[in-house]
Structure 1
Amino acid sequence: MKSKAMNNKATCNNLDLDSKLASLLGIRYILSENELDTASWIPIGDVTGDEGVFTLYQNRDALPMCFVVDRNSAYSGINEIASDFDEIIDKFRDQDTNLVVSGISEYSIDVNIEEDSKLIFMIPYTEGWTVKVDGTETDYYKECDFYMGIDISSGNHNIVLRYVPPLLGMGSIISVISILAFVLYAFYSKKYLKE
């Protein structure tokens, strides 16, 4: 993804990097041939490739994997998150969180929550997730018409999210039966074709 400066405005494939959209989409890093003149994107190093030297920039305002909001907050959509974006980002910078990703379907998050709150995960809401807070399974719900959320009490917590596709077990059983049927068919057809 190449970026360019147009009229002193940082853009990346026509995405205005100064807008909140890049941050709301969770874009954390970009490579750029040109220097970006924006407060949100911080240069963190150079990368040399076949096409030259690029600067790696980090978006200091990208929404995190999860963030804490007041339990009474009711976001009905991403536009409302955008309207409170600066407040959410400021709170996040003060939050004590540690995220560990284990493969592509499991996350472990350590959080320190000051007061009873909602934790919003930047994961699309879908069936198949198991959410455990301190080892105890808890319900999750749809937040902002798209994301997952949970209610969480004050204190230090370890949250584990694990995803298993809803029909994985059924699909596995059908696959095993199909393989067995094929093996039996191949065995018996060979036996009867010889006779």
Structure 2
Amino acid sequence: MDQDSPLLLSIPYDNGWSAYVDGKKAKINKVVSNLMAIDLKKGHHNVILNYQVPGLKLGWLVSAIAVILFISFLLVVKSKDKLRNKL
């Protein structure tokens, strides 16, 4: 690029996107009715876009807790059955 200019991306804007320009985190601007743009300085740049589903970490946490609770429930039921069989 011969001058400072925004890089307009034909990707719909979403909070899950992050951008890195030359290895440094860059701000993504919402432009032209919901598209993304990244401001770039004059010169050549390496741009990396990364998308992470919003709420994914929370979803994994809730799922892990549910699995732990389910396994705990099964262990309690099994131990009660063994106790009843001994009596």
TM-score normalised by length of structure 2: 0.89
Q: Count residues with an aligned counterpart.
A: 83
5 Å matches for 1:69-148?
113-148=1-36
Q: Tell me which residue corresponds to 1:102.
A: none
Deviations 1:82-116 (A, max 9, x none): xxxxxxxxxxxxxxxxxxxxxxxxxxxxxxx2211
Higher relative contact order (CA 8 A, sep 6+): 2
Instruction: Write the distance in 2 (CA, Å) between the matches of 1:114 and 1:170.
Output: 43
Q: Secondary structure at the match of 1:148?
A: strand
Give the one of 170, 180, 183 matched to 2:68.
Answer: 180
Q: Tell me which residue corresponds to 1:153.
A: 41
Instruction: Write the distance in 1 (CA, Å) between the matches of 2:11 and 2:40.
Output: 17
Moved over 2 A (4+): none
More helix by share: 2
Instruction: Write the distance in 2 (CA, Å) between the matches of 1:129 and 1:193.
Output: 51
Quote the offset at 1:129 in angstroms.
1.1
Q: Secondary structure at the match of 1:132?
A: strand
Aligned residue identity for 2:11: I
Q: Percent of aligned pairs with the same residue? A: 34
Quote the offset at 1:193 in angstroms.
2.5
What residue ranges of structure 1 are gaps of 5+ in the alignment? 1-112
Larger Rg: 2
What residue ranges of structure 2 are gaps of 5+ in the alignment? none
Q: Give the alignment's Cα RMSD to 1 decimal.
A: 0.9
Instruction: Write the distance in 1 (CA, Å) between the matches of 2:30 and 2:64.
Output: 35
Q: Tell me which residue corresponds to 1:44.
A: none
Quote the offset at 1:123 in angstroms.
0.8
TM-score normalised by length of structure 1: 0.41
